[in-house]
Amino acid sequence: MAETLRGVYAAVLTPFTEKLEPDLERFVRHCRWLLANGCDGLAPLGTTGEANSLSVAQRLALVEAARAGGVPLAQCIFGAGSCALADAVTVTKAVVAAGGGGALLLPPFYYKNPSEDGLFAFFSEVIERTGDARLKLYLYHFPQLSTVPITVPLVTRLKRAYGDTIAGLKDSSGDWQVSATFLREFPGFGVFSGSEEFLLANLRAGGVGCISASTNITAPLARPVYAAWNRAEADGLQRGLTDVRLVFQSYPLQAALKEVMALMTGDPSWRVLLPPNRALAAAQRAELAARLRNLPQMQPILRQAA
């Protein structure tokens, strides 16, 4: 059985050009920076990466750019979610062919209140049509946006049918009890918290880490929590990490993260988001920067933006 992916993962931001095309060079550079600054792995093409605003061709170009740029794809879980079955299969196949460590799959979210049978059929078709034993599928539970939850009975059916191909789950519900339930029901299941706020609790309950938007910035703070999870000092480290996360999530998260990337790199093009997402207003930008600079744990990270 393949080794389980684990650790601090960033839901990687996608930089864009002024023409609203993915900036492949900056994307690869950012991936490398994350791996050099606390991330054990990467999760591109998710919600944070604005993947559901990208075409299939753009997603495939980002996968290829990462491969060609020397990003270790075995440490990457690429988002492959789409309401269109054929598109989900196309991206999943490309991820596996490129050597990706896993594919993160949303449920088909346009049709509301689908049956369990319908959801099982969707995931089953993706697996069968991908047709590759190397596939490791991570289910993406994000009911606030998808409105379609991943449930224990659904995971039970998928695990029974496909075994270790169903490698894990990203829980972005924001409710720790959801992760706790999956960890209790499926010992050894690769459950990632969708926020580093729950990183320590996840690890102590048998989870594998976090896949978080804000670890685009906070990975240097999250990595020590991961390393010390079974020691008392981890509790204080987690409190400092959580304080930063709570600042970020009090703003539109993608816009806040891109604002801080613009500050850290001196590159204002990081502020570009795809509509309907919008950059922070000037007053929000100033407030966010001031709040982060008032947190001592953020000083080493923001020093280059001073």
Q: Is 128 exposed, middle or buried (0-12, 13-18, 19+ CB in 10 A)?
A: exposed
* SS3 letters across the chain: CCCCCCEEEECCCCCECCCCCECHHHHHHHHHHHHHCCCCEECCCCCCCCHHHCCHHHHHHHHHHHHHCCCCHHHEEEECCCCCHHHHHHHHHHHHHCCCCEEEECCCCCCCCCCHHHHHHHHHHHHHHHCCCCCCEEEEECHHHHCCCCCHHHHHHHHHHHHHHEEEEEECCCCHHHHHHHHHHCCCCEEEECCHHHHHHHHHCCCCEEEECCHHHHHHHHHHHHHCCCCCHHHHHHHHHHHHHHHHCCCCHHHHHHHHHHHHHCCHHHHCCCCCCCCCCHHHHHHHHHHHHCCHHHHHHHHHHC
Catalytic positions, please?
Answer: 47, 110, 138, 170
Q: Could you give the angle at the alpha carbon of 143 between the alpha carbons of 229 and 75, nearest 5°?
A: 45
Asked whether 257 and 216 are in contact (CB, 8 A), the reply is: yes
Cα separation values, 155 from 70, 116, 193, Å: 34, 10, 17
In angstroms, rounded to a whole number, what is the distance separating the alpha carbons of residues 286 and 37? 25
Distance CA 137, CA 150 (A): 13
What residues in the chain have per-residue pLDDT under 50?
1-2, 305-306
All domains in the chain, ordered by first residue: 7-228 (3.20.20.70)
First to last CA, the chain: 47
- Say what the pLDDT of residue 303 is: 78
Q: Which residues of 105-117 are buried (b: 16+ CB within 10 A; e: fewer)?
A: bbbbbeeeebeee
Polymer length in residues for the chain: 306
Distance CA 147, CA 211 (A): 20
What one-letter code names the amino acid at 17?
Answer: T
Write down the pTM of the prediction. Answer: 0.96
